Amino acid sequence: DQQVKQNSPSLSVQEGRISILNCDYTNSMFDYFLWYKKYPAEGPTFLISISSIKDKNEDGRFTVFLNKSAKHLSLHIVPSQPGDSAVYFCAASAGGTYKYIFGTGTRLKVLA
């Protein structure tokens, strides 16, 4: 049972436009969500996170939105740059469990 789902395996966006990556979850106990970026042959690197007490968190070009009622979060990248081309994973955790469940990833390609 996939508790964290990223239903779009890939996404292509023109440079300068907005990239929107989506993530859905099923476990209502999840209270902390993270996004990671991964380049080929490297480990994932942390991008941005959000706690369930918030519905939005911004860091520069990256904004994460959380809709708890829909069990949905999204990552917005504005403006998109060619260097943003990578695989993006969302992850979720339930307080006190110390475990993180990852989605299957979305490959973003930003076209110059």
Partner 1 sequence: NAGVTQTPKFRVLKTGQSMTLLCAQDMNHEYMYWYRQDPGMGLRLIHYSVGEGTTAKGEVPDGYNVSRLKKQNFLLGLESAAPSQTSVYFCASTLNHNEQFFGPGTRLTVL
Give the footprint of partner 1 on this chain (CB under 8 A).
6, 9, 32, 34, 36, 41-46, 49, 89, 91, 93, 95, 98-105
CB 31 within 8 A of CB 52: yes
Rounded to the nearest 5 degrees, what angle is found at the Cα of 60, between the Cα atoms of 76 and 90? 40
Rounded to the nearest 5 degrees, what angle is found at the Cα of 38, between the Cα atoms of 32 and 42? 125
Residue 38 vs 79, nearer CB to partner 1: 38
Residue 75 vs 89, nearer CB to partner 1: 89
Residue 13 vs 88, nearer CB to partner 1: 88
